[in-house]
A = this chain, B = another copy of it.
Amino acid sequence: MKIAFVVFNGLTTLDFIGIYDPLTRLKTMGFMPDLEWDICAYTDIVKDDRGLIMVPTAIQEPLQSYDVLVVPGGYGTRTLIHDNNFIEWIQTAEPCKLKVSVCTGALLLGAAGFLKGKRATTHPSALQELTPFCQTVLENRIVDEGNIITAGGVSSGIDEGLYVVERLAGAEARSKIAKQMDYPYTLRPESVAQ
């Protein structure tokens, strides 16, 4: 299994790292020894919304060969939803079996057409912006449409990451990874729309 973590200029890094940490522990803690991932971008270098510079491992590579697509949010999304080249690149992820967004990453999944006819969520301040891209905007912390999962704002990526861990590797893996992350909080069942 191979994960594409998408990054871009103006992302909120906690959106990305909150889900990157639990998912990559599937490999480092031995639950999925063959798991691989790339940090995927359309630009050579990426600067987050507060100045942190990251170097992608895959640049403008088509995304169809990945099993899982992970898209974080941040103010950069407001420009990128109108950037045809970027959105066409995101659209190459169409065959990915699982597409996941954190925060306003949902706007990018939406602009790529992946949320058509689906329920979705995003940062509480961006619910209205998400409306044109999906069937129903929900305010749950996680909205699970099977092959596409969206989450609320910034820190919700940690809960979503642990939720995806459980789907991919079971409840025991989730529990052990949360413990190693020293994460004592539990997603309330009513926070998830399935």
Query: Which residues of B lie under 8 Å from residue A155 when comparing CB positions?
Result: 158, 181-183
Q: Give chain A interface residues in 147-194, CB to chain B under 8 Å.
A: 152-156, 158, 180-185
Cβ-closest chain B residue relative to A102: B182
Copies of the polypeptide in the assembly? 2
Which stretch, A53-61, A62-70, A80-88, A111-119, touches the partner chain B? A53-61
Tell me if A153 and B181 are in contact (CB < 8 A).
yes
A129 → B minimal CB distance (Å):
15
CB A83 to nearest CB in B, in angstroms, measures 23
A95 is an interface residue with CB less than 8 A from chain B: no
Chain B residues with Cβ below 8 Å from A158 are 155
With A14-B181, A182-B103 as contacts: A53 and B50 at CB distance below 8 Å: no
Q: Which residues of B sit under 8 angstroms from A182, Cβ to Cβ?
A: 103, 123-124, 141, 152-156
- A20 and B156 CA atoms in complex are apart in Å by 16
Contact A20 B52 (CB under 8 A): yes
A13-B17, A20-B52 are known contacts; what are 18 more A-B pairs with Cβ within 8 Å? A14-B17, A14-B181, A20-B50, A28-B49, A39-B52, A39-B53, A45-B55, A51-B57, A53-B54, A53-B57, A54-B54, A124-B182, A141-B182, A152-B182, A153-B182, A154-B183, A155-B158, A155-B181
